[in-house]
Every structure is written in structure tokens, then in C-alpha cells.
Chain A
Amino acid sequence: AQRVTQPEKLLSVFKGAPVELKCNYSYSGSPELFWYVQYSRQRLQLLLRHISRESIKGFTADLNKGETSFHLKKPFAQEEDSAMYYCAPTGRASSYKLIFGSGTRLLVRP
């Protein structure tokens, strides 16, 4: 079965500290991995996807197929990064449905 595990419900860091939001997945075949972010009172939006290998808002994520992980990292967290973050694979095995994890709430304190 397709499954995503985001072990941290809440991650609280101080401004300027490094942050890593963990994501492990179980998925048949070769999924495409996404990180979506939901800021307070805003819609879900794409943060980054593994195939683009971009850095968005200072965030990066590397797909580790051996460990089936897609952890999200940022070296210096900012207060405006406070939001809900969702890791989600998709692909043919899930009929192109996004498989959402439970999400991690990131709180960046001043």
C-alpha cells in the first residue's frame, strides 16, 4: 500500500536555526515526490518537487530511494516559514492521487 510517514506533528525552532522535516514513504514503482505547504488561512501550494531539484524559499529536499525518504531542509529558518508542511508522492501506482502524510506544523519562533 502507498503510505507516507511524517513523524513530527510539530517542529518548533528559533529563527535562524536549521530545520529538517522528515518524510518517509512506501510506494510501488517510481513515484514523483512533492512537498506542499499551507500557510495560515491560505490554500495548499506546491513548495517543491523532486524532479526539478530546485531550491524554493531556501528549502531543499533530496530523494533517497534507498531509504525511501524525502526530507525537507532549510539551513536558516525564518518566521514566515511557519506553516503546515505535507509530503506527498504520486504516480501510476496511486492512479496519480497524491498520498498525503499527516503533515508537520513548523513553528519558527523569533
Chain B
Amino acid sequence: GAVVSQHPSRVICKSGTSVKIECRSLDFQATTMFWYRQFPKKSLMLMATSNEGSKATYEQGVEKDKFLINHASLTLSTLTVTSAHPEDSSFYICSARELAGNEQFFGPGTRLTVL
């Protein structure tokens, strides 16, 4: 089946620094990738939709200048948390949708801890 990877799997950073998370579709092309946050024992909260070659579409309440998304190719999307603060600590998950079909394939997630 289709595989999505994320890197890094966990990151600890100091408050005020920026952190980049990569999401790759390993064996398929993804025109659309999605970025989610998941709080402990909670459902996924969609942050933004990333379309290859165009600007990301952010959900209401998500700061686009805070969470920068780049989708430069059909297999790579990046999420950069800028000037991270402790409240940004969370589990960030990406998913990728194939060119044809509605199924999304999920990455393993990235645990971000901001000190």
C-alpha cells in the first residue's frame, strides 16, 4: 500500500525557534497533502490543505504566518512552525491523497515539544 513518511518523528526545541516538519509520499504522487494536529486522546484537527504548486488553504483559526506550508513537489510537503511557543507543543500528522481517489494515507506523526 501507499506509504507516507514524516521527518523528524520527534523534536524538542527552545521557545522562539522555528521547526520544519517534512511529509513525503514514498511510492505515489500526491497532489494534495493535509496537515493535522492531534491532542492527547483527541480527534484530529485539520490545520491546512496543501496543494502542489499553489498556496495552502488554512482552516479557520489557524495562523498562516505561524504555520508555513510549502508543497514544492508531488511527493513532498513541509510544515514550518515559526517562532514556536510551548502552546505549539503537539502531535502533528500529515496525510496524502493520491491523484485519483479519495483515500488519504497518513504519516506516523511528529511529536513537537517546545520548551
Interface residues of A (CB under 8 A from B): 32, 34, 36, 42-46, 49, 86, 90-91, 95-98, 100-103, 105
Contacts and interface: CB of A to CB of B under 8 A. Distances in A.
B34 interface: yes
Contact of A90 (B44, B102, B106, B109): B102
Nearest to B46: A97
Contacts of B44: 44, 86, 100
A51 to B, nearest CB: 9
Given A90-B102, A102-B43, A96 B32 contact: yes
A86 B95 CA distance: 15
A97 B107 contact: no
Contacts of A97: 34, 46, 49
B15 interface: no
Contacts of B97: 96
Contacts of A95: 49, 57
Contacts of A42: 108
A91 B107 contact: no
Interface string B52-73: 0000010000000000000000
B69 to A, nearest CB: 14
Interface of B: 32, 34, 41-44, 46, 49, 57, 93, 95, 97, 102-109
Contacts of B57: 95
A48 B63 CA distance: 33
- Nearest 6 A/B pairs, CB to CB: A44-B106, A43-B108, A103-B43, A32-B102, A43-B106, A102-B43
A109 B13 CA distance: 39
A54 to B, nearest CB: 13
B13 to A, nearest CB: 23
A100 B93 CA distance: 14
Contact of B104 (A98, A101, A103): A98
Given A96-B32, A97-B46, A43 B107 contact: yes
Nearest to B49: A97
A96 B57 CA distance: 12
Nearest to A45: B106
